[in-house]
Amino acid sequence: MAGVRPTHRNVDNIKSTILTPSLTPYFEVQIPVPSFLSSLNGGTSSPYNYLSILCTEASLPGNQLITFNVDNDYTGVTEKMPHRKVYDQKLDLTFYVNAIGNDSYYPIKFFESYISFIAGEDQNAGDYGLKDHNYFYRFSYPDDYMLDGLYIYKFEKETTTGLTYEFIRTYPTNINTMPITYGDAQVLKCTVSYSYIRYILNQKFDTSRKVVANEAAAAPISPEVPPEEIVPNFDKRILTGSANDNDDNTVRGELSNRTQGL
């Protein structure tokens, strides 16, 4: 019995695939700055500079197709048919926490301020501030804090090629606890979870779709079969009428004798 012969590979094939892997340390994250924190823009302490450099860990997003079962289209076979594309909708970003200068603890301050605005908190509310026993809050409008423009760039050290992930309607939802302890000194890290509705990968292979709708619209209608042969008594089922002279938007209809007798 004949089988499939293995494909012969040469050294060049191996060099161009296995020996040129993508490495994880080469990436950059760009965080969008909402308008209520626009005073931070500009200079070396801008969030575009600080947060991009301090971001030490991120995750490339994923997605999946939601399916339903179709039984017995083929005897004894259950098929899974996709009907919806679902995104992860959660992005975890980890930042080093800096500790020197006027902008120390920058990631913690930035995301604490961001989430406080979303929750409608006002630290300068006087007697009705966060310390008040009867304190309450009202959440901000989503368009004020959901932003486009969060990007993850994946690149390589010695090449100009890469991937660009663009996230739509993003905002932080969670700041993880940050343990501090005596003992061996470790770098303090701040992990933040972002929510988004979808992402766009700007570098994908070209695909072609068969435009069935346009083809159907261009298909001619055959005039060979008259309507009266398809629908019996076609000419007697038409409701005719005309507008009256008073322009009161009423229509006088006249039914055929057969229709009135039904």
Question: What does the pLDDT average to over 12-29?
Answer: 83
What pLDDT score does 234 carry?
42
Taking the model in full, what pTM does it have?
A: 0.72
- pLDDT tens sequence across 173-221: 999 999 999 988 999 999 999 999 999 998 888 887 766 555 555 555 4
CA distance 104 to 98: 5
Token pair 């739509």 is at which residue?
168
- CATH architecture label of 15-65+72-201: Roll (2.30)
Question: What does the pLDDT average to over 231-239?
Answer: 45
pLDDT surpasses 50 at 254: no
How many CB atoms lie under 10 A from the CB of residue 111?
Answer: 22
Q: How do the domains of the chain map onto residue ranges?
A: 15-65+72-201, 224-260
- pLDDT tens sequence across 33-50: 999 888 888 766 788 888
How many CB atoms lie under 10 A from the CB of residue 90?
Answer: 13
What pLDDT score does 187 carry?
93
